[in-house]
Amino acid sequence: MSAHPLRLRVNGRPVELADVPVTERLLDTLRGRLDLKGTKEGCRTGGCGACTVLVDGRSTLSCLTLAQEAAEAEITTIEGVGSDAEGHRVQAAFEAVGAVQCGYCTPGFVMALTGLLKERGAAAPFGEFLEELGGNLCRCTGYGAIVRAAAALRAEAASR
Amino acid sequence: MTIRPDLAEKIAGRVRYATDLEVPGMLWGALVPAPVAHGRLRTVDLGPARARPGVVAISATELAALVGGRQGDRDRPAFPRERVEYLHQPVAAVAAPSLAEARAAAKAVRVEVEPLPVVSDVDAVFPDWPGSSAAQHPSVAAHVHARRGDVEEAFRTAETVVRETYRTASVHQVALEPHACLAEVEGERWRVRTSTQSPFGVREDVASILGIPEESIVVEGTWVGGGFGGKGASFVEPWALLLARAAGRPVRLALTYRQEFLLGRTTLPAVVRMETAVSAGAIRARRVRLLLDVGTSLPGRDFATGYSIGFLLGPYRTPTFEVEGYAVRTNKPPFGPHRAPFAPQCAFVVESHLEEVARRVGIEPAAFKAAHLWETGGTTPFGQPITDFGLAAAHAAARELADDWRRAAPPGHGVGLGMGFWSTSTGAGGEARVTVSADGIRILQGEREIGSGSVLVGLAAVAERRTGLSRHRIRVEYGDTASAPYDAGVFGSRTVGALGRAVDDALVQILGTLAQRAGAPTPVRLAEGERGVELEGRGQRWPIADLLTDEERAQGGLTAHGKHYGRGGKIDESLVVDGTFYAYTDFTGAAHVAEVAVDAQTGSVRVVRYAAFQDVGTVVDPPTARAQVEGGIVMGLGTALTEEAIWSAEGRLLNAGLVDYRLPTISEAPPIEVTFVEGHPGAGPFGAKGLGEPPIIPVPAAIASAVRAAVGAHVTELPLNPERIARALKREEP
Ligand code: FES
Ligand code: FES
């Protein structure tokens, strides 16, 4: 199996890895090599959203992304998202409404919502905005509190 | 403002789950699956796996040596010796320095099985049912039968008899975090860190499966990424421990999502025959017959059937009845608990059936149900006295709301009402060690927070309510099974109700001791003062620091050991013909209202809005209580509308993944109004009733009723997917 050096930026810091197989998933690079375990491993098949990170600001499923595809990119994970203004707002909104139970979906939701707000802001209708989050599953909350957090964030974005 | 001590950590991605555990020198485990659903095990050749560098491999032949010649429960060995009974059943396990190597080694194990006929479902065992009885059939794991009164006479003389058959599907818990653990064995010390709803339950299971004494096993719970019943018993732990023993190194074993589906212990399909006899608008008699697929659950150990039958009678007065249930063994994994095990399915069946009965006799369904609903002080059909029960009050409120919604509903929309009742597992015991000092209250107990908040928030809320001390002075701590007092587990909606009672018991002892020492007039409370926490009675205050002995101060405060071991009620055993039936410990329930929009062309359903009226006794923490109701309802929408594990005739699960097994998503979750019906106290502290399970129970019933109201489709199968709705609509066409 061929392996190559890989350079990326993770949470603002340069990362250089010597031998990263072409088949390695970004999820495993982050969790395994960089010990960034805040990104959760769920289904590994793109169905749950637990592994969501930002790649150059766009919400991305790290289980379906090859690490080498992310070469030279800027990766943001839950460990770093608090330094981003939008990410910080999302985390604060989650805390204010208590949009967390077991917390396993939480990092993925925070990242997806941050990416979506960056990309869309308050432009799209709320229903469509929520549909964009359909790839992030939560089995605990019934989504009610997450929807309340999203609504508050959108109202805030609209008033900016 | 929500006070969840775990909130900030979880939002920052800082909590560590079992899937995150890694220690230096550990190996990764993988399981070797059986290639067929039923067969005689001919060969398990570990040689090719062991030939790989760094690989440890074990199967049934190594078992005795690994546990020092001891013998575990012969009925549920860690690995099968002679026969495999479901597809992918682990027949061996391997560990290797990386996950990739472990998986490759697992594939290298040579397994040969001589196939035997597969019993794929209950229909294969009971082709002529309900026309036949087959208590002696080899596939029957348990048989229950009870009756009261002259059932035959009641059916013969009734004005109207309604007979229907219902089918319900297999549903998975799908906690977002898969099962995972990290095992280490040193000498005679077997230690496992695991994601579990019950560390003590895991210890007991591991001891029984491996045959080693409980004292040599230590289970430490980790953060849990959702349980829903799926993490209530041991699962991956025995295999991981055996691998760790064989390897002499720590071993981490986690299931993939695919394995979660393939091996998961969950609700399996059922067929229910419902018959009701009515005269003069009143139920005269009912007959309920159940075929419950219990997979490879052990013969004679099926609890689900005897327990579920009562839920199929529903919370309705039934003077004369006959119930008969078969737990049918099939070549699927064992049946396991899924949030209020099988109760949402039972509620769907009984609510839909009685709605049909009411329509046939020309009575408005809600009125018909209200006229038969149990009330406090009555007795169940099994003769158990009904203690404080708020379902009638919840139903009355739900009816009013449903009428309002109906008046406002546009064409194509339908409003439905469904009920469900439940008895929580507050009989299962628990203990807690509570310490009061000048700094506050510390609660040491054995459970980890699984997400619902029942441990971190619920227990603290009980302490706050008992003492008056504000919650930021109250800390809930956990220990492993060696350091923490015993508790049965976070299941059965019992954490606040039972473990909370243990916490309360300890606090009552401590307050009593402190009051006595201070000579304070009772009742006393705790409050914050200049010198830390103070005892307060009738306006007077005593700093806790002054009330402690030197020894107590040195030990960090005054400690008491609280206990709660509950008692269940009794049923009239003279009604039992065969098998075991169970009494309820308490009575709780809910009435739900759903408004749906149904596309009559495609049969697709959108839930427009939803309301829940929950009989809770007393709410101990409103935000987490509400969160439980919202979460339970949306999980129930999955059971109602999309979730169905489909098994082939060869015992193969055809949709073992999130693509084909569809969970509700954020845009499908409706707005939910939650109303707590208080004033009907339960067995928990301050009259609290459990709330983890009850909110899911009425959901499929409410949705089915709404779909029927919208387009006239009387669907008798779960889930109510477009195909079934379209089929029902065809049937209804004149
Ligand atoms: S782990 Fe990536 S989508 Fe589930
Ligand atoms: S909080 Fe548990 S899955 Fe979302």
**Predicted interface score ipTM higher than 0.90:** yes
- Largest interatomic CA distance in chain B: 86
A59, A76, A93: which is the final residue of a domain?
A: A76
Q: Is A36 in the pocket of ligand 2 (CB under 6 A)?
A: no
Phi-psi domain of B497 (left: phi exceeds 0; alpha: psi -120 through 50; beta: other): alpha
Do A72 and A88 have their domain in common? no
CATH number of B270-425+573-731: 3.30.365.10
Please tell me the distance between residue B120's alpha carbon and the centre of ligand 2 in angstroms: 33
Contact state of B12 with A141 under an 8 Å Cβ cutoff: no
**Looking at residue B133, what is its pLDDT?**
67
Domain that holds residue A32: 3-76
Q: Is the CB of A138 under 6 A from ligand 1?
A: no
Backbone angles phi, psi at B363, to 5 degrees: -115, 145
Q: What is the CATH number of the domain that holds A148?
A: 1.10.150.120
User: Which residues of chain A make contact with B663, given a CB cutoff of 8 A?
Assistant: 137, 139
Are A85 and A154 in a shared domain? Answer: yes
CATH code, domain carrying A13 = 3.10.20.30
Q: Could you tell me if A87 and A153 lie in one domain?
A: yes
Question: Closest Cα partner for B144 from B296, B303, B273, B271?
Answer: B303
Question: Is any atom of ligand 1 closer than 6 Å to the C-beta of A107?
Answer: no
Mean pLDDT, residues A109-115 taken together: 98
Residue tagged 């595809």 (tokens): A69
Give the residue among B20, B7, B1 at the shortest CA–CA distance from B451: B7
Q: Is B232 left (phi over 0), alpha (psi -120 to 50) or beta?
A: alpha
Are A50 and A8 in the same domain?
yes
Residues A100 and A35 placed together within one structural domain of the fold: no
Question: Cβ contacts of residue B302 below 8 Å, gap of 6+?
Answer: B141, B142, B292, B294, B327, B335
Q: Return the pLDDT at B138.
A: 87
Q: Return d(Cα B482, Cα A133) in angstroms, integer.
A: 43
As given in the structure block, the two tokens for residue B252 are 């981490």
Q: What are the residue ranges in chain B where pLDDT is below 50?
A: 1
In B, which residues are within 8 Å of A144 by CB distance?
A: 627, 630, 634, 669, 671-672
**Which of A41, A62, A104 would best serve as a mutation to test chain B binding (most B beta carbons within 10 A)?**
A104
Answer yes or no: do B175 and A106 touch at CB < 8 A. no
**Close Cβ partners of B79 (under 8 Å, ≥ 6 residues apart):** B58, B59, B60, B63, B90, B91, B92, B93
Cβ–Cβ of B627/A78 closer than 8 Å?
no
Whether residue A23 is found in the same domain as residue A71:
yes
Residue B127: its pLDDT value, please? 83
Q: One-letter amino acid identity for B167?
A: R
Distance from CA of A68 to the nearest CA of B (A): 19
Residues A31 and A64 in one domain: yes
Which residue, of A76, A91, A116, is where some domain finishes?
Answer: A76
The domain boundary, picked from A76, A91, A114, lies at A76
Whether B430-564 and B7-117+173-263 are alike in CATH topology: the answer is no
Q: What are A68-110's pLDDT values in tens digits?
A: 999 999 999 999 999 999 999 999 999 999 999 999 999 999 9
Whether the Cβ atoms of residue B445 and residue B432 lie closer than 8 Å to each other: yes
What residues contact residue B573 under an 8 Å CB cut-off, 6+ apart?
none
**Domains: count for chain A:** 2
Question: Contact B91/B32 with Cβ under 8 angstroms?
Answer: yes
From CA B275, how far away is CA B526, in angstroms rounded? Answer: 57
Classify B430-564 by CATH class.
alpha beta
C-alpha distance from B29 to closest chain A C-alpha (Å): 16
pLDDT of the residue at A1: 63
Select from 3.40.50.720, 3.90.1170.50, 3.40.50.280, 3.40.50.300 the CATH code of B7-117+173-263: 3.90.1170.50
| C-alpha to C-alpha distance for B609 and B210, rounded to whole angstroms | 50
- Cα B111 to averaged position of ligand 2 atoms, centre (Å): 38
Q: What is the pLDDT of residue B303?
A: 84
Please give the span between the terminal C-alpha atoms of chain B, in angstroms, as a whole number.
56
Q: How far apart are CA B364 and CA B630, in angstroms?
A: 29
Q: Are residues A89 and A119 in the same domain?
A: yes
Same domain, yes or no: A153 and A85: yes
The reported pLDDT for the residue numbered B426 is: 84
Once rounded to an integer, what is the mean pLDDT over residues A14-32?
Answer: 97
Pairing of strands B251-254, B56-59: unpaired
Give domain limits for chain B.
7-117+173-263, 270-425+573-731, 430-564
Q: How far is the CA of A39 from the centre of ligand 1 (A)?
A: 10
pLDDT of residue B734: 59
